[in-house]
Amino acid sequence: MKTGAGIVENTEENRQICRKYCGICPTCRHNSLEKYQPDILFCARGESSAPSQKELNCYCPACEIYSKHSLIIGHFCFKR
């Protein structure tokens, strides 16, 4: 079932999926994004409030939510 391409719901299930990608990606680890809100699922919850962000690789294109919702580009922790 395809549900609202482009719209990602802020659910615990989606946060668990996101942790497999955002949670281990170089950008997240370098900037300690887990210490700031929103701490995960940036494609649904908006960009991180972490200071002095440095953009490294993004793992979003490998994520099933990314393909399911036809998202593009990635790096949702920095810009939407």
Residues that bind ligand SF4 (CB under 6 A): 17-18, 21-22, 25, 27-28, 33, 41-43, 58-60, 63, 65-66, 71, 74-77
Query: Which residue's CB is nearer to ligand SF4, number 35 or number 43?
Result: 43
Helix extents (H) in 20-76: 26-31, 42-45, 64-68
Total length of the chain: 80
- Residue from 44, 80, 42, 17 nearest 33 by CA: 42
Judged by beta carbon, residue 7 or residue 77, the one nearer ligand SF4 is 77
- Closest distance between ligand SF4 and the C-beta of residue 61, in Å? 8
